[in-house]
Structure 1
Amino acid sequence: MFSTLRKLFCFKKEPKTPLGFCDCPSRAKGYMSCFYCGTEDRYCQPYDPENKFHEAVCMGKFKVVLRLLGKKKFHVDDKDEGKRTALHFACFYGHLDLVRLLLFKECKINALDNQKSTPLMKAIQSWETEIVSVLLDHGADPNIKDCNGEAAVHHAVYVDRPDIASILIEFGANIEDTTKDGFTPLLLALRERKLRIAKYLITHGANLHVCDKYQRTTLMYAVRWDCEDIVEILLKKGVDNHLKDTFGWSALYYAIVGKRKTW
């Protein structure tokens, strides 16, 4: 019903800036403008088990899991219809003891579900920093990409966790890896208004001069959200405020038309 109401009340006026880039409220907490009608909560989908083994894992029933594996009723890498393994569920629901057990049982650490998500990605989605560390210590690959062309570091951006991004990068995650749409972690963080991790990436070696497919710069995205401190950092680090996107707009022009306070 809510999504239907959003469509009914979508903003119908002509955008003031190209594709409405700077038409939304600059400091809004949520994405309520019409330009985000297609944006969904990526991690609100149910993640429910389909068999007794996976159900026991989700509920953290260590002894039951051990018994089911011991009786060989289930294999450690058994998959459900969504191609999810026990490790996917253990990581998503934050059961570190079961993660360690499954790894001891030599489960496939980089198993892919039907969305090509790894257990590492599921741990990140649930903010399970310790599980992330354990998986990486045991050889989990941080650079595998899911069906959206997003690697673990991009998932760290979506949950706005610099601590997780730091661990991933320490274990070889590519700080400049791009999604299908060409977004590096930094550009994605700025697009999604994940400002904590954006600041972390800016100060830890990310390329500040990347652009999206419309040649919109990191500075333009910082202006979009009226992030005065990030704008200041980018300017001090040499991001050119005279650059123009494919529409011929500069960061300053976006700030003026969008009534931003960053300039």
Structure 2
Amino acid sequence: MWIYFCFFFLFLFLFFHQKETPLANAAFWAARKGNLALLQLLLNSGRVDVDCKDSLGTTALMVASYYGHIDCVRELVLQGADINLQRESGATSLFFAAQQGHNDVVKFLFSFGASTEFRNKDGGTALLAACQYGHAKVVETLLKHGANIHDQLYDGASAIFLAAQGGYLDVIRLLLSSGAKVNQPRQDGTAPLWIASQMGHSEVVRVMLLRGAERDAARNDGTTALLKAAIKGYNNVIEELLKFSPTLGLLKNGTSALHAAVLSGNVRTVALLLEAGADPCLRNKANELPAELTKNERILRLLRAKEKQRKS
């Protein structure tokens, strides 16, 4: 039944001599739905440019690549679609396929000359998109075809930074084994370890520390990974960081992880830091003791017990 609908759909447009735009929209629809029969009818009619674009510069090939319809991608390419056209945003068909994790489409596009060099408006490349969304197989394919492992967004975020943000351990291991810099910071000083700690990805934190991540790498505002994890109460992350003896004293921003944990009210976090040697008698830049920042009785008992222990 659907094939009759396809013919009927095409007939209506051809019969009423519509302009190219509605026919192009039909091609976009076919590419989006993976309707190969309709797409072939439209392309073979001679009334649809294979590289026709919408108002944002999107082509049917980009649409088919985004949705992973390999048969439609193949048809469009074999009919002469330009693989490396860029959308208004700068994204290409390869970018969309990589972003969505369609490794078969990525491989096919490479076989017809797709380039990894194009960037979108924020500096994103196909590799960065695949890392951001955790598509390890696509990352592997892109690297094999010459993608630059040191690509960065215009704000400095690297492939490993984006993978760490998402907690994609398999992607991170692949990037590290391929030469990614584990300590490459963003322009604001945020390192991959820092962002993994902020997001609570303890396994990522563990692997990065084992591969040489700087335990006390601080953002430009002085906040370290430990301080951020203490604020968030990510105790699994804190336990991993503490194995590498991060700074427990005052940071350049004038506070400590213990002060942050007390302010956040996480009893377990406070206990972990005290057990690791954090000083409950340390004053922050405002001359405040950790105990002066809370009314939580459980936390106060922990702090007083540690103070007493240190004085004895």
Does residue 64 of the first structure (1) align with residue 72 of the second (2)?
yes
DSSP 3-state at the match of 1:241: coil
Q: Which residue of 2 aligns with 1:93?
A: 100
Q: Distance in 2 between matches of 1:133 and 1:184?
A: 23
TM-score w.r.t. length of structure 1: 0.74
The one-letter code of the counterpart of 1:184 is A
1:4-49 CA-to-partner distances (Å, cap 9, x unmatched) read: xxxxxxxxxxxxxxxxxxxxxxxxxxxxxxxxxxxxxxxxxxxx98
Q: Distance in 2 between matches of 1:230 and 1:63?
A: 45
Higher RCO (Cα < 8 Å, 6 or more apart): 1
Q: Which residue of 1 aligns with 2:82?
A: 75
Pick one of 149, 157, 170 that aligns with 2:156.
149
Tell whether the 8 Å contact from 2:230 to 2:261 is kept in structure 1 after alignment.
Answer: yes
Pick one of 240, 252, 256 that aligns with 1:250.
256
Pick one of 150, 160, 170 that aligns with 2:177.
170
- Change in 2 beyond 3 A, CA 1:215/1:146: same
Pick one of 129, 134, 142 that aligns with 2:141.
134
Q: Distance in 2 between matches of 1:181 and 1:213?
A: 6
Q: Distance in 2 between matches of 1:120 and 1:136?
A: 8
Q: Which residue of 2 aligns with 1:16?
A: none
Q: How far is 1:190 from its partner?
A: 1.7
Q: How far is 1:149 from its partner?
A: 1.7
Q: How far is 1:76 from its partner?
A: 1.5
Q: Distance in 1 between matches of 2:260 and 2:154?
A: 33
Tell me which protein shows more helix as a share of its residues: 2
1:194-241 CA-to-partner distances (Å, cap 9, x unmatched) read: 333223322332110211223222221222222334334433422121
- Change in 2 beyond 3 A, CA 1:236/1:70: closer
Unaligned runs of 5+ residues in structure 2 are 1-55, 272-312
The one-letter code of the counterpart of 2:69 is K
DSSP 3-state at the match of 2:62: helix
Matches within 5 A, 1:3-152: 50-72=58-80, 74-152=81-159
- Change in 2 beyond 3 A, CA 1:236/1:171: closer
Tell whether the 8 Å contact from 1:110 to 1:118 is kept in structure 2 after alignment.
Answer: yes
Identity rate, percent: 24
The one-letter code of the counterpart of 1:57 is S
- Change in 2 beyond 3 A, CA 1:114/1:229: closer
Does residue 220 of the first structure (1) align with residue 227 of the second (2)?
yes
Q: How many residue pairs are counted as aligned between the two chains?
A: 214
Q: Distance in 1 between matches of 2:236 and 2:76?
A: 54
Q: How far is 1:251 from its partner?
A: 1.7
Q: How far is 1:178 from its partner?
A: 0.8
Does residue 187 of the first structure (1) align with residue 197 of the second (2)?
no
Unaligned runs of 5+ residues in structure 1 are 1-47
Q: Distance in 2 between matches of 1:244 and 1:53?
A: 52
